[in-house]
Structure 1
């Protein structure tokens, strides 16, 4: 049986999320064997049917040469610093929109390309240990399988250029390459009321306790 991620306080966080908004606005695969196979960028709308099973990620759920992305929790005033592996870490009080990018081909495949957002990028999570600190921002409508396998491998690169995230020289097979992207406030979504922030704080605190328990 696969390990999977249960989002802390999913019902509460779902209430914090703004209505669906196209904060990921586009993308493309520009080179590599994925490009030669006709791979393209696909913006997923949760719930989605492109994966098997539906609305799942993290364990060979796509098996296509495409690059996928979907929006997670949007426009949250975070209560504490969110660690990143590239770029600037959002700090307490910053309004953050979270996004998930996946490259999950059937066999070893290379890819370079980009993803565009409707607001500037703060930073990017690329390493397994960094994902846990922001999992309270995961989309409650998605099942995240094999959370311990998330991230990029040696040689996979990302670059931030304003509202564009460049993906350079990715090579993936099983279970695929994944990054989480934090952007600034999305102009197409509403900011949640301050009264709702304690629920997010509780979710992030719960993840912190879980992380410390696993280390013990």
Structure 2
């Protein structure tokens, strides 16, 4: 399991979050990736909304497809992006909450195919398991706040194996250049 708590000031790209309403007893948790852990297929089973930073400030060597946002559904080659993973892995529950980033959101990978195609941006100690089951389930919603482009809202109903997305932001001013 990952170390939870204050983030390393050199990689403060997920700034925080909050669950506004839910059927469980969870809270927002930012995971640190300096120690290995597994994510996917019911290995957390809590009511928490989780987020962690993946690769930061990477110049894309190819266009990447996104399911939400982007320009014509993609983020162009040569764009500098920071990658983040957001998930809810409960047995059962519904929550509405948000995650704040330190840079505007460019796009979101929310389907298994787009998550698989962007795994090259993970580069952490995280082991992604049951990757064919990642993404959002029917009835789940994510959106970028219309008044704050650095805030991602989620309305997720958790069930096995959970809800998983990858969020791409502009270059993160809080992360070291990779």
Which runs of no fewer than 5 residues in structure 1 stay unpaired? 1-18, 49-53, 193-216
Report the Cα distance in structure 2 between the residues aligned to 1:90 and 1:100, rounded to whole angstroms.
17
1:167 matched to 2:154? yes
TM-score by length of 2: 0.88
Q: TM-score, normalised by structure 1?
A: 0.73
CA-based RMSD of the aligned residues comes to: 1.4
Residues 68, 103 of structure 1: 8 Å contact kept: yes
Confirm or deny: 8 A CA contact 2:39 2:127 kept in the other structure.
yes
Structure 1: how far apart are the matches of 2:60 and 2:19?
32
- Aligned partner of 2:123 in structure 1 is 139
Distance 2:124 2:47 in 1: 26
Segments of 4+ moved more than 6 angstroms: none
Aligned match for 1:56, one of 27, 32, 38: 38
Q: Distance in 1 between matches of 2:95 and 2:137?
A: 13
The number of equivalent residue pairs is 164
Distance in 2 (CA, whole Å) between partners of 1:71 and 1:189 is: 10
Distance 1:104 1:188 in 2: 27
Structure with higher strand content: 2
Which has the larger Rg? 1
The answer to whether residue 170 in structure 2 is matched with residue 188 in structure 1 is no
Report SS of the residue matched to 1:136. helix
What is the deviation of 1:134? Answer: 0.6
How far, CA to CA, are the matches of 2:99 and 2:75 in structure 1? 20
Secondary structure of 1:191's partner? Answer: coil
Write the distance in 2 (CA, Å) between the matches of 1:90 and 1:41. 28
* CA distance in 2: counterparts of 1:24 and 1:104, whole angstroms: 19
Give, in angstroms, the shift of residue 20 of structure 1: 4.7
User: Where in structure 2 are there 5+ consecutive unaligned residues?
Assistant: 1-8
